[in-house]
A and B are shown apart, each in its own frame.
Chain A
């Protein structure tokens, strides 16, 4: 079974700083997707960024980028120029292609606080 580990329960940075959230995963599969979801206090789950395992290039979405290290099974999220609205829980998630169960496996989350 796949597992996803987020080792930072909580992080706090000043507005405009850059912050990196860590995520590691364990799988024996070769074809999969990795996601970062954001959950603000409204509790809505919002997709931040997606990475296909077969792509070597790291995904980027505006201020959000990932550092995907497939051999190390690491998938960190970097938020540049952090904003107050980035305050939220961030979940790393794993999705296996072609597996029997197509649900997402989530990490426990990192609570990110952006201080003014």
Chain B
């Protein structure tokens, strides 16, 4: 298995532009998570999907952030309009939750976003 795939790996954009981050979870996993990592706040959960349905988006910082999961193999995190304080590394992770699954979350390589 290729693991969790994220694109792009790096994104540099100007303030006010729309940014879309993409994630392909591991096949067979039914849960998908978006995390943000910054020096100040560490790793924070932004949103969590189970069976393609958003379950908890309480970590989404504000209305400029939105996430979708149109099918089991694809999710996007969109920031519109972007601001310099959105600069961070954004991780996508997937897992199988339910039954006796070990709940281990497998992380993608992350997208480093820089907003100038």
Provide the residues of chain B in CB contact with A95, threshold 8 Å. Answer: 103, 105
Indicate whether A107 sits within 8 Å of B109 (C-beta atoms), given known contacts A50-B104, A102-B48, A102-B97: no
A16 at the interface (CB under 8 A from B): no
Q: Mark B10-38, 1 if CB is under 8 A from A, else 0.
A: 00000000000000000000010101000
Provide the residues of chain A in CB contact with B109, threshold 8 Å. Answer: 42-44
Contact A101 B103 (CB under 8 A): no
B50 at the interface (CB under 8 A from A): yes
Q: Mark A82-116, 1 if CB is under 8 A from B, else 0.
A: 00000000010001010011111111110000000
Provide the residues of chain A in CB contact with B43, threshold 8 Å. Answer: 91, 104, 106
Indicate whether A47 sits within 8 Å of B56 (C-beta atoms), given known contacts A102-B97, A103-B45, A106-B43: no
Provide the residues of chain A in CB contact with B56, threshold 8 Å. Answer: 100-103
Q: What's the interface size class on A, roughly?
A: 20 to 34
Provide the residues of chain B in CB contact with A35, threshold 8 Å. Answer: 104
Contact A97 B103 (CB under 8 A): yes
Could you tell me which residues of chain B, from 53 to 91, have a CB within 8 Å of some CB in chain A? 55-56, 58-59, 89, 91
A33 at the interface (CB under 8 A from B): yes
Provide the residues of chain B in CB contact with A108, threshold 8 Å. Answer: 42
Query: What residues make up the interface of A, taking CB atoms closer than 8 Å to B?
Result: 33, 35, 37, 42-47, 50, 91, 95, 97, 100-109
- Given A47-B104, A47-B106, A103-B48: 8 more A-B contacts, CB < 8 Å: A35-B104, A42-B109, A43-B89, A44-B107, A50-B104, A95-B103, A103-B35, A107-B42
